[in-house]
Each structure stands twice: as C-alpha cells, then as structure tokens.
Structure 1
Amino acid sequence: MPDALNPFRDCLGEGGVLSEPVRIAAYTLDHRALMRGETEAVLRPRSVEAVQGLVRLARRHGYGLVPQGGNTGYVGGATPEPGRRQLVVSLERMTRIRAVDPLNFTLACDAGTILAEAQAAAAEHDLLLPLSLGAEGSCRLGGNLGTNAGGLQVLRYGMTRDLVLGLEAVLADGALFSDMRTLRKNNVGTDLKQTFIGAEGTLGIVTGIVLKLWPAQSFRATAWLELSAGAPLPEIAALVRRETSDLASTFELISASSLGLVAEMRGSDPGVKAGPGGAVLLELQASSARIPLDDVLLGTLELLMERGYVADAVLAQSEAQRRAMWAIRETIPEGEKHAGGSVKLDIALPVSQLTAFLERGGALLAARMPEVRLSFYGHVGDGNIHYNLVVPQGQDRLAFTRAVEAGIAHDLYALAIDLGGSFSAEYGIGRFKRDLLARYGDPTRLRLIAAVKRAFDPEGVMNAGAMLPD
C-alpha cells in the first residue's frame, strides 16, 4: 500500500524510501541466496534523528524493522521474514567519520560506515583499525557489531566486542541511548553498550560507534608453512605465540582441499603447496623498525622444523609475494562457490581441541558421506574453523544444504560442543541458526536473553525472528 509509506517518505525525504520491487530485491535476498525475504519498503535514513523518527512511525503503523548493514551475513540475520510485515532499515547513507583522535587512539563514526573506509580513515593518521574481514570492502560497522564479527586478526586484537569503546543506538520506542565516550576506564555501572554487540539488531538500531585504534603496523614478516603429517596444531600455535612474543597477528590454517579449490578456480598452480597436514599462513606485525621481525620469524620456523612440525616454508620476499599468499586465503570461499557451493559450518573450539575435532570430524564425514569434499580453513589462533562441505557435482545446492543441516551437521555440532566448543564462532545466529540456539543453548542463558529482549523491545519491533523464536 503506497499510501501507508507516505509518513516514512515525509520523515526521510528524497531517496529515503525504496518501494519498487526491482530496487528492493537486493535487500531481501540473503548473502548466500538461501532465503528470499519480503518487505514493502527499504528505509534509508541520513541521520540519527531520522532513525528515531522512522522507529516511532513503525510502532505507530504496526511495522517491524530489520536493520541492515552491507547484507554480507551468512545466517539470514538481516533478511526481512515473509509474513512479518517488516521494513528494512539500511544505514548505507549514514557513513560519516565523526572524529579520529590520534593521541587517544580512537575513531568515532556512523554505523553505516564501510569497514574498509573506517580502516582508511585510521590509516590517514598512521593508525590501525585491526578488524579485518574478507567482506571489508562492503560490510558495514553496524553489522560487524551486530554479529560481533571476528576476522583475520582476532589472535592479537580480539573480536569486535573487544574493539568498541562507545556506542549509540536508537531503541524500540525511538529513544536514543548514547554512550559515545572514548574512555578506556569508565566504571559507572552496568556496561550497557556491550548488550547491543552480538544482539543482531534485536534490541535497537546502532547508529554510532567509537573504536579503539593501534599504531599502524607498518612492518610485517609473512611465511607460508607446509605442515607435516600429524602436525599438532595446538602445540604449533602455542609455540608461535611464545617465540614471537605475541607479535603474530594471524595464524591461518588452509587445508590441502581448500588450496585445491583455489587452484581449480584459477586454472593454474597457486605457487605454494600444502603439506600432508595442510598449510598455515603466518604473519607477524610491528609498528617499529627496531623489532627484527624477519629474525624472529626465522628463529620460530627453525624451531618448528626441528620439532618436525613443519616440512617446508616460504618467506614472502616482497609485498607482492605477501599479497599473493593472502589472495589464496581470501579466495577460498570463491573457490568453493566455483566448485558448486558449500554448506558452511562455523565451528569454534578451544585451541587445544582443534586437532581432536579435525580427526574425529573427518572420520565421521568419511563414514557418513564419503562422496563429499571437505574444505576447512580458519583462524586457528582463536579456535575458529570454517568447516565446509562442498556440494557434490550434479546435486542441487539448496537440497544438499537442507540434507546436511538436518543430518550430519548436528553430529558435527555435537562433537564440537562435547569438546567445549560452539556451533557459531563468528557468523551469529540470525534466522538460519535460531533452532540450533534453542537446541544447544543453556536454558538459563536463553531465558536471560529473552528477558533482555522483552526489557528493550516489549512489542517485538526490532528484527523479530532473528536469534530467538517468537
């Protein structure tokens, strides 16, 4: 009903409301094309005040709201659900860098800011925003906060939650919660801003963020490690941290199968190899030339080889060679897509249990689905493994996805949980995993999550259907 949208048009001005089917189609399809959502319109505010206005209008006219950043999520958390009468709220026009404080090492910006643009704003002041994701050229910081994104440098800098100093959000009644202070020490009661991080837009619409920065890490030493058969990943990761004095920013595991997918997609030799135990992309970083990173890395590699953990290693001799190594890691998802797609299981484990999971999970998959190609890779330093089952040739991707999620996925999740892990490392819950949260979540924790939701949003305006069932 176009007339029903007129109050939103008055509130948001020219270009603030998209309602034509051809224009809203991209906002209603989740990133992995597993769900086609439904909405009457996409709302695109330019200011915090406009967000407050549209929230009040939505309550008055009986609409639910689904906040959306770059729509790069993997679990359907930003997709409006059919039958719920939800409007999408896209923050793509709220991209202002509000302030960079080089002496306080902080950056304040709108929540619609693209991650790469925030990184660039920090770099202009010789500073580093360490949050780094494969989708950083299109994902937006509000979505990163909503899912508590991790990424490539969690080992050294932590998850998104660890990077946030301040936050601003519009609540379900249109009120503004503002805690945009840049303080590192600020004990004035319950830290409410942390409640919004990882809540996937179910408590309010985050509109502003203050992030911690670090000195720019201008000096790097990078190596590609070929792992020996039976190489113990937990021991290797622990040794690397100790021997490098925690200068390792990334420790990325790449299976031989994942490397093979990249080679097949490119149609050429990637230039590096995986050993019998796979490969690791290891990088050290520092802000000072006085730290001999190359010597530290070489000494660490010598020790790994002496212990028989690493069969061979290639050290990047130039920035071009370093980028080529990283391009392999970053194009694994594209390689999976080229092979027909994959079912993505986002597993988190204590680092000490990684080898046990890979051995037991591999045996389980070989016994139950021997025809399926396994691609696993991930941030071993923080215990996050992307454990992906490639769709067999000739099979329908959606049908295969449903079969895996109804069958062997539960066995793999149960194995991870038995080892002290989780079925969701960094993707979040969204709409695709809410049944898993209900199935595997601690009842007391679920009760508290529901109580927080009721306290913040008693009428269920904010992203109903995400994370929690009705």
Structure 2
Amino acid sequence: MPGSDALDPFRDLLGEGGVLSDPGMTAPYCLDHRELMRGATPAVLRPRSVEAVQGLVRLARAHGFGLVPQGGNTGYVGGATPEPGRRQLVVSLERMTRIRSVDPLNFTLACDAGVILAEAQRAAAEHGLLLPLSLGSEGSCRLGGNLGTNAGGLQVLRYGMTRDLVLGLEAVLADGALFSDMRTLRKNNIGTDLKQAFIGAEGTLGIVTGVVLKLWPEQAFRATAWLQLGAGAPIPEIAADVRRETADLVSTFELISASSLGLVAEMRGADTGLRTGPGGAVLLELQASSARIPLDEVLMGTLEGLMERGFVEDAALARSEAQRRAMWAIRETIPEGEKHAGGSVKHDIAVPVSRLTDFLERAGAIVAEQMPGVRLSFYGHVGDGNIHYNLVVPEGQDRLAFTRAVEAGIAHDLYAVAIDLGGSFSAEYGIGRFKRDLLARYTDPTRLALVAAVKRAFDPEGVMNAGAMLGG
C-alpha cells in the first residue's frame, strides 16, 4: 500500500473530510453489499464538485492509482468494490447531492449523481411529479450507481429501465476531461448518443457526475390487489390480459412464490395475513394521475375475467393506503427473509415474458433433480420478464461454500435454460466482478470485442474501475 504522503495531493485538492484513509473508516466502502468480497483501498475520495472530480482523476493518473466509482454500495455483483492488488482508490459521490433544477412544465429533473434515489423522488413529488425509478434500496442507493448498472426495479413494465429515463448526462473521463450533455430535450437527433455509453458501463468508462431524468405527472391514484393464482395459471397470458384490459395502466406485476412468502412469515415470526394459490401470487397495481379514471372499477372488471377463466382463485384488494403498504412490505422484504433464513444464491434471470412459464418449469425440474430438498425462492418483476430465482442456503451449511458450489455447477444449467429461451443471465444487477466470467462465457465474441474496444477508446490506461465487467 502507498505511504500516506502519496495521498497528500488528494487531501490538498479535496480539503477536510475529502480523503478517508483510516482502515476503520474505509472498511465499509470495501465490503460488497452481499458480503461476498472484501476489497482493499488506500483511501476513499469524497469530492464536493465536478471540478474536484476532474482534479482527482488527473491526480490518480499522475500517481498511478486506479479509481472505483461508488454510489450507495448497494449492488449485488461487486461492481463497486476495489480489488486487492490493483491500487484502486474509491471515489464516493456521497457529498455531491445537489438538486440542480426541476422543470414542472418540461417534466425533467437535473441533479448531481450522488443524490439518493429517494431524495430525487421527493424533489419531483414536491412539484406534483413522479420519478418512476423505484427499487428496494431507494433509501440508500445513489443515482450514479443506478446509471452505472442501468437499474431496473419495480416499475419497468410501464416506464422502462434507467436507460429509458435519462435525457442528459455529465461525466468525467479518464483523462479528467468533462463530457457534458445535460440537455433536457426529448428530441435531440445530433448523431451518436454518447451518453448512453455510460449507462450500464459500471463506471468503467468514466465517473458520472450529473444526470437529467424524465418525470411524469404524479400518479396519485392507485388500485392494488393481491391475486392468488390457480394451478397451472399461465402467467404470460395473465400479464398480457391485464395490460389489455386496463388500457396499460398497470405499473407493476410482481410474482411471489409460496416459498418466498413463507420466508417473510418466518422472519416476522407471524402470519402475513395473505396467501398464495397453487400457482403462487401476483401483486398487481394500477396507477393514474387523474381521479376521472375509475381504477377500482377497471381493476375489478379485469379480475372478474381472470377468475372466470380459472386463472385467479381469489383476490384481496387494498382498501386503504395502509393495506397497500402492507402488501408492498411483503414483496420488498423477501430479500431480508432470505437473509434471515441463512442467505441465498441469487440468479437474476430475464426471459421474454412469453417464455416465463417454460423457464419456471424447466428450471424447477433441474433443481429438483440436482439439488433435491434445497429451498427455492423465486419472485420478481415478471411483467417485464425478470425473475429472481434464488436458492436458499440449507441450514447448517456455510453460505460462501454453498454459493461457490452453486455458481460452479447448477447455476450454469439455469443460465443455459434462460439463454435457450432467448433470455439473459443478468436482468438488472449488472456484471461487476462476480459475473465477468459469465459475460466472457455467454456473450457473442463480436459483442465482447466491441465492449473491449469501447473501453480502450474511453480509458486506454485502464484507470476506471479495472476488473469490473472485463478482466485484465
């Protein structure tokens, strides 16, 4: 590790509190969210301005340091964890939290990349507007990390992923130059859309410092229901029917398995008050900005049709905001339930919505054959084809050892099924350090070569987040 004097130029640049080098203070920045990797860094850099980010990038190049941009450190694939031996400094934008502007007539929000997602949502809500990006970690994740991983979340079905919400972007490049494209235009056809290169790149091309996001009218009116699915209920057909019969007012369509619901009940030590049917359960929500749209009537009519066809056995409607929140609390605490049970090995699968049932049937057969008795927890945003297909660590087994065994074995069979169905091994988590071997294994060689070529073009010296996505 470099001596303390090697960090003095960074201290001079960033001022008091701008450089954390005490191991006790840097430790939280070096442990990935799932506690699968303990990284190492000489220091954590905490700039307050874009100019400071430019300055620290130039210093890092001059003194031979690599840089790892880090948002809220809530990722699942180790993309923001500095690797031991790489001499990487963590760059945290936690002090860059300025809401730059909200334009209620243009429906846009511009802000620093260090803004916590929930704070950005609140800034929009103060103007009667909606920022639809919504994640379980929204109280701690930061927008720069959301952009870096192209975060998905709970409302992709209606509003799209992070990539679809970005109008403008600002980033510091590997040589300290500033790429500034903070336009608030919806029509801006001036050639290659360079800002899109940074979205989903996990900080490997530059450090995102600012963003302009699309907003929508506040969706103040909701209709929410918990559906108990019948045996063999065709989930793709149900999802399609719901979209048609509600005039596409559905914002979320979340599948919850009986096992996942049971994990929540075990963690709470009490019955959840809700049930799954033989086919599991769906948490369904419609949203609108106008009271003139009879959402409850639309929802009831849709459910009646599904029940008549035997797809839904029973349904509980949220009659108050408290009941709605109680339903959502179950969905959002499933990861905590898995952790309470000893942890899980997470598979972030995406397949075309039309092939969801095929995936669940084939994957279930593989697990039953290869790991009988292992508890499955599957749930997710199936309205957009994303299923979190997780294996719970058996009681008494070491979590890390079980994780390694699954990832070396059955995980590849599950990924093979997804890919055979036209899907992907990474729906919304990204690649990071944990899945870079999967990227190399399952990605078309031409695509992989282009990814590497883009990396070389933006960062020929390998300053930016070396080891994330690509090895070397």
Q: What is the TM-score normalised by the length of structure 1?
A: 1.00
1:430 corresponds to: 432
The CA distance in 2 between the partners of 1:457 and 1:364, in whole Å, is 42
One of 376, 380, 383 as aligned partner of 2:382: 380
Percent identity for Structure 1 against Structure 2: 87
One of 132, 136, 139 as aligned partner of 1:137: 139
**Which letter maps to 2:210?**
G
SS in 2 for 1:328: helix
The CA distance in 1 between the partners of 2:175 and 2:151, in whole Å, is 27
The CA distance in 2 between the partners of 1:371 and 1:231, in whole Å, is 24
The CA distance in 1 between the partners of 2:362 and 2:194, in whole Å, is 40
For 1:360-375, list aligned pairs within 5 A. 360-375=362-377
**1:216-255, CA deviations, whole angstroms, 9 ceiling, x for partnerless residues?**
0000000000000100000000000000000000000000
One of 400, 403, 412 as aligned partner of 1:401: 403
SS in 2 for 1:166: strand
1:165 corresponds to: 167
- 1:418 equivalent in alignment to 2:387: no
1:266 corresponds to: 268
The CA distance in 2 between the partners of 1:47 and 1:112, in whole Å, is 10
The CA distance in 1 between the partners of 2:280 and 2:39, in whole Å, is 39
1:218 corresponds to: 220
Give the number of aligned pairs. Answer: 470
2:196 corresponds to: 194
1:310 corresponds to: 312
1:64 corresponds to: 66
**Which letter maps to 1:100?**
V
The CA distance in 2 between the partners of 1:371 and 1:222, in whole Å, is 34
The CA distance in 2 between the partners of 1:429 and 1:10, in whole Å, is 35
2:9 corresponds to: 7
The CA distance in 2 between the partners of 1:46 and 1:365, in whole Å, is 49
**Which letter maps to 1:293?**
L
1:50 corresponds to: 52
The CA distance in 2 between the partners of 1:446 and 1:360, in whole Å, is 28
The CA distance in 2 between the partners of 1:76 and 1:423, in whole Å, is 16
The CA distance in 2 between the partners of 1:292 and 1:113, in whole Å, is 36
The CA distance in 1 between the partners of 2:56 and 2:374, in whole Å, is 47
SS in 2 for 1:466: coil
Deviation of 1:414 (Å): 0.5
The CA distance in 2 between the partners of 1:70 and 1:318, in whole Å, is 32
1:121 corresponds to: 123
SS in 2 for 1:65: strand
**Which letter maps to 1:380?**
V
The CA distance in 2 between the partners of 1:172 and 1:320, in whole Å, is 48
One of 290, 295, 299 as aligned partner of 1:297: 299
1:276 corresponds to: 278
**Which letter maps to 2:243?**
R
2:326 corresponds to: 324
**Unaligned runs of at least 5 residues, structure 1:** none
**Which letter maps to 1:298?**
M
**Which letter maps to 1:88?**
V
2:253 corresponds to: 251
**Which letter maps to 2:235?**
L
For 1:148-163, list aligned pairs within 5 A. 148-163=150-165
**1:419-454, CA deviations, whole angstroms, 9 ceiling, x for partnerless residues?**
000000000000000000000001000000000000
The CA distance in 2 between the partners of 1:317 and 1:271, in whole Å, is 15
The CA distance in 2 between the partners of 1:192 and 1:461, in whole Å, is 20
SS in 1 for 2:56: helix
**Which letter maps to 1:149?**
A
Deviation of 1:35 (Å): 0.1
Deviation of 1:469 (Å): 1.1
**1:264-315, CA deviations, whole angstroms, 9 ceiling, x for partnerless residues?**
0111110110000000000000000000000000000000001110000000
**1:186-243, CA deviations, whole angstroms, 9 ceiling, x for partnerless residues?**
0001000000000000000000000000000000000000000100000000000000
The CA distance in 2 between the partners of 1:440 and 1:238, in whole Å, is 30
**Which letter maps to 2:361?**
E
Which runs of 4 or more aligned residues in structure 1 lie more than 2 Å from their structure 2 counterparts after TM superposition? Answer: none
**Unaligned runs of at least 5 residues, structure 2:** none
SS in 1 for 2:447: helix
2:102 corresponds to: 100
- 1:179 equivalent in alignment to 2:181: yes
The CA distance in 2 between the partners of 1:153 and 1:371, in whole Å, is 33
**1:334-356, CA deviations, whole angstroms, 9 ceiling, x for partnerless residues?**
00000000000000000000000
The CA distance in 2 between the partners of 1:256 and 1:99, in whole Å, is 44
The CA distance in 2 between the partners of 1:326 and 1:164, in whole Å, is 26
1:445 corresponds to: 447
**Which letter maps to 1:32?**
R
- 1:209 equivalent in alignment to 2:211: yes
2:18 corresponds to: 16
Deviation of 1:371 (Å): 2.0
**Which letter maps to 1:249?**
S
SS in 1 for 2:347: strand
The CA distance in 1 between the partners of 2:36 and 2:4, in whole Å, is 28
**Which letter maps to 1:191?**
D
Q: What is the TM-score normalised by the length of structure 2?
A: 0.99
The CA distance in 2 between the partners of 1:228 and 1:363, in whole Å, is 20
The CA distance in 2 between the partners of 1:448 and 1:187, in whole Å, is 23
The CA distance in 1 between the partners of 2:185 and 2:252, in whole Å, is 28
SS in 2 for 1:421: coil
1:76 corresponds to: 78
